[in-house]
Structure 1
Amino acid sequence: MTRRRLLAALVVATAASLLLSGCVSWFQPPRPASTVSTPTKETVAADLQPFYSQVLRWRACDGGLQCATAKAPMNWQDPAQASIDLALIRHPATQKPLGSLLVNPGGPGASGVDFIKTSLSYAVDGRLQKNYDIVGFDPRGVGSSSAVDCGGPKVLDQFIYGIVPGTPGTPSWIAATEAENGSFGQSCLEHTGPLLQYIDTDSAARDLDLLRAVLGDKKLNYLGYSYGTLLGATYADLYPKKTGRLVLDGALDPATSDFDVTLTQAKGFESAFRAYLKDCLTRKGCPFHGSVDQGMTEVQRILQQLQQSPLPGDDGRELGANTMFSAIILPLYNRDNWSYLDKLFDDVRKGGTSVAFTLADSYNDRSSSGTYSSNETEAFTAINCLDYTSDDNIVDMTQQAAQLAAQAPVFGPVMSWGGTSCAKWPFPGTRDRVAIHADGSAPILVVGTTNDPATPYVWARNLAKELQNGHLVTRKGEGHTGYNKGNSCVDSAVDDFFVSGKVPASDPMC
């Protein structure tokens, strides 16, 4: 099985839904913008003053966009220890801006720079492009910022696609899995250095406040997708009086335990796959026959068979259950991509692996040449291992595996044994799974989609209730996240909030 255990399945980069949908960016001609950002005057500790008073100098890049680099302390508890780079990209507003709007696509580990560079009009609609300077950023550890490096393509291939022999859950398999995960962590430490200890979400949220200040904004305006909702909520908890207009779309619930995250998401993926099957069975050429339940049983059989006997691929890799799982869930992020599931099961039934590896490689940013176009897997793993404490108690994991199999019989077994992921990571996780209230913050919109497979709707409901000033906007439908997905009701609620500060009187139930 692959060692990318999904770490309670927080595999929720919105960018993943773009990879198959054919979405391309379209840029309006930007208004002339200053090439220098004047920072706000902030009262901060003396050792932070050089960071908060820095001047951003923008350069032209990528056809009408502007790029810059900010400096942040590597260790916020000891700012003088060292500094790191934070990469920024900006689409200037087409009229006098209301300020900067920082956008995070999720992950953790997804590049906000690439998100704005390649998919601006997927990230935000034209109304927000008109009214705000849209700013993408790579969080610490990610992409073009000071980044996690774990040793190159061969190391990543082994970590993501390698097969640990034996039966999952047996003591020998657990020991072997933890040893391989630990080896990967040591490789990350060797190639990344001290930064690996400081790429947690709390530190990234402190970076957000620094970026707000050096962009010249007194308060933060922020749109966070998926994992980006945790980053945004963390910011609001640390700096409630500096919240401007925050929208958290496809929410994580900070108070949900690691196991409940896994269980809820396993059931969410199964619900989304059942929706696919229901649609598929009405179409000519559907690879399934009979009922939805029969289709689920067939997929369960395929995954079990791949667990026992992986299929050899043309490039020497083997298609195991976990890689097949990645291939299945990627199209579930966006209903427009369901047709790829037809191709996937047609191919696997014939003993083929090409479609499965194409989908899994797309999910993992791996090219056909074997190189990786981003460090998302490395950053994803490193950030989650710092953010969440690891429980590899075999009794606990065995009980949890049984519960997953009972409540999510198709995908639950593949998502089990997550406690092995970070058990031997170089640095322990420290974040407590507690509710975030952000007492004293400005209003915060939380967007949830009723059949979101990656961040189930219940998490959005929970977060909206936990936040002292949270307001839920529900999108009824399929797919991951709700804004800018063709639902005018959601789009209007979000845009009105960002542009005029209008807070829905109640959930519009779009």
Structure 2
Amino acid sequence: MLEVPLNHARPGGRKIQIAVSRVLHTDPDYKGIIVGNPGGPGGSGLGMARLGAAIPNGVGAKYDWYGFDPRGVGSSTPSLSCDPDYAGAGYDRPDYVPTKRWTKRWWLRVTKKYARDCSRADAKALLPFMRTTDVAADLDALRAAVGAKKLNYYAFSYGTYLGQVYATRYPKRVGRFVWDGVLNAKNAFYQANLDQNIQFDKNINTYFRWLADHDDTFALGTDWRAIRRGYYRLLDRLDRAPAADGKLGPDELSDVMLSAGYYVYDWVAIGEAYAKLAKTGDGADIIAMYAGPGDDNGFAVYNAVQCTDAKWPGWKRTQADAWRIHRKHPFLTWGNTWFNAPCLNWPAASRKAVRVSGDRIKTPILLIAETNDAATVYSGALATRRAFPSSYLIEGVGGTTHSGSLSGIACTDDTIAAYLDTGKLPKRKPGNNRSDQKCDPVPAPEPTDAAARSFGPATNDRMPADLRSLLSNAQRTQR
């Protein structure tokens, strides 16, 4: 446990505890410490100490790998929880899309109640001190506690934003940084969610195309547009008559299908379960994939960070944006809107966002993004590349997987290993609106591959399956 100030501006005041894990180096060619973050915000990072084993060519063994549960998360104390029985994550929710007046009232009421419950939570003293700047200060306290002059850092998704804030605040302490699934700091976090709504809709179309291309396996037809229309008809039907003993409504189905927009790893398993539901009405396999309400801690911290890191608009703009985007991109828009709606009434004040800048950083920083990543859209990687002139961007061309490094793509993974080994990257390409290195994306699975039929990462993934699951759970928080 690492003791840090609750408020870093008052280091002599109340202290909190950050849970830390460590795996020591085994190679005598010691490179220093490296800290991992899986994203979220709200994801437990203790498992990240095991990430070194996934780095090619044994390079990971040259580092001491550290993981940590950010303040308020998991084993850190106090741990934040607002309402373990939050109705907005249960099985009896109304449809996300508020086509009925009572549906909108229901969602506004329960999300407001969730925010109110957070103000009454045992860990409510945390709420004013849950910004990314606070977590960055904790990260630097970890570096100092270990006695390292510089921080090396490997992060995914929201963790890339934490890295940008850290690098802006502590530029002289930046060592070797790898950011995979790069968030656009200028869009944190309201605009970033609007960007997600558009790209996830495009990605689910990509998935429907894949299902159509494999009609011999899924028997859903060869017209992807017809599959898409069938999906929305099925949502309407589940709204009227939920399946799987009343547990599978439109929200649960869309939450499961959302995984296909995040990653290609589960495409086969989701496709088989969806086809079974669509053709027979049997939703048992789909509901088995639904995570359910789960641990409230991740959702509480997700809100505690996002609602205070930057200014959040009121309901009038939120509703207008949601209907505007929903008309063309309906797949995620209203689900994402309600997922973030506690911010409309959050009990801690939102503040001005950090303006990140890498102008003072001379060491190379490695960025990784797939072209059609929906959780952290590719334009964010380009924006970060511009903001950090020493950065170098690998693009997984045409891919839809979020934070998919170390998935067995040699072009990407070997570059990561070489960078962590030497601290050097190839020469950056001229211009601002381009990547520096083009690699294959994480490939879509073949339905004939027996391993792809189970729910989980592909067999060529360099990461252990449980560690990949830790990442995906952190990045989706509670869905």
Under TM normalisation by the shorter chain, which class is it? Answer: 0.7 to 0.9
Q: 1:205 to 1:486 in 2, by over 3 A?
A: same
Which stretch shows the higher mean deviation, 402-411 or 205-214? 402-411
1:321–1:414 Cα contact (<8 Å) kept: no
| Structure 1 residue aligned with 2:67 | 136
| Structure 1 residue aligned with 2:381 | 460
Is 1:202 matched up with 2:133?
yes
Which residues in structure 2 correspond to 1:92-491 (within 5 Å)?
92-96=24-28, 97-116=30-49, 121-122=53-54, 124-125=55-56, 127-150=58-81, 153=84, 155-156=85-86, 159-163=89-93, 168=98, 173-189=103-119, 190-256=121-187, 258=189, 260-283=191-214, 284-306=216-238, 308-309=239-240, 311=242, 313-314=244-245, 318-349=247-278, 350-361=280-291, 366=294, 372=295, 375-394=297-316, 396-416=317-337, 420-432=341-353, 435-441=355-361, 442-476=363-397, 477-491=399-413
Q: 1:174 to 1:158 in 2, by over 3 A?
A: closer
In 2, Cα distance between equivalents of 1:115 and 1:375: 18
1:386–1:427 Cα contact (<8 Å) kept: yes
Give the C-alpha shift of residue 451 in structure 1: 2.4
| Paired residue type of 2:413 | D
Equivalent position SS for 2:291:
helix
1:404–1:416 Cα contact (<8 Å) kept: no
Equivalent position SS for 1:422:
helix
Q: Normalising by structure 1, report the TM-score.
A: 0.76
2:309–2:351 Cα contact (<8 Å) kept: yes
In 2, Cα distance between equivalents of 1:167 and 1:299: 15
Is 1:74 matched up with 2:6?
yes
1:212–1:220 Cα contact (<8 Å) kept: yes
| Paired residue type of 1:390 | W
In 2, Cα distance between equivalents of 1:340 and 1:212: 41
In 2, Cα distance between equivalents of 1:465 and 1:456: 15
Aligned residues with identical type, % of pairs: 27
1:464–1:472 Cα contact (<8 Å) kept: yes
| Structure 2 residue aligned with 1:89 | 21
Q: 1:465 to 1:420 in 2, by over 3 A?
A: same
Q: When you count helix as a share of all residues, which structure comes out higher?
A: 2
Equivalent position SS for 2:344:
coil
Give the C-alpha shift of residue 490 in structure 1: 1.2
In 1, Cα distance between equivalents of 2:229 and 2:97: 21
In 2, Cα distance between equivalents of 1:379 and 1:345: 31
In 2, Cα distance between equivalents of 1:95 and 1:110: 29
Q: CA RMSD in A?
A: 2.7
In 2, Cα distance between equivalents of 1:344 and 1:295: 14
In 1, Cα distance between equivalents of 2:192 and 2:82: 30
1:72–1:83 Cα contact (<8 Å) kept: yes
In 2, Cα distance between equivalents of 1:77 and 1:170: 47
Give the C-alpha shift of residue 225 in structure 1: 0.4
In 1, Cα distance between equivalents of 2:53 and 2:17: 26
2:307–2:350 Cα contact (<8 Å) kept: yes
Give the C-alpha shift of residue 85 in structure 1: 0.8
In 2, Cα distance between equivalents of 1:299 and 1:214: 52
Give the C-alpha shift of residue 233 in structure 1: 0.5
Equivalent position SS for 1:509:
strand
1:451–1:457 Cα contact (<8 Å) kept: yes
2:40–2:157 Cα contact (<8 Å) kept: yes
Which stretch shows the higher mean deviation, 219-228 or 284-293? 284-293
Give the C-alpha shift of residue 143 in structure 1: 1.1
| Paired residue type of 2:411 | C
Equivalent position SS for 1:84:
strand
Which stretch shows the higher mean deviation, 259-268 or 337-346? 259-268
Q: Normalising by structure 2, report the TM-score.
A: 0.81
In 2, Cα distance between equivalents of 1:185 and 1:287: 44
Give the C-alpha shift of residue 138 in structure 1: 0.9
In the alignment of these two chains, the number of paired residues is 426
Q: 1:120 to 1:472 in 2, by over 3 A?
A: closer
| Paired residue type of 2:304 | A
Give 5+ residue unaligned stretches, structure 2. Answer: 429-435, 440-479
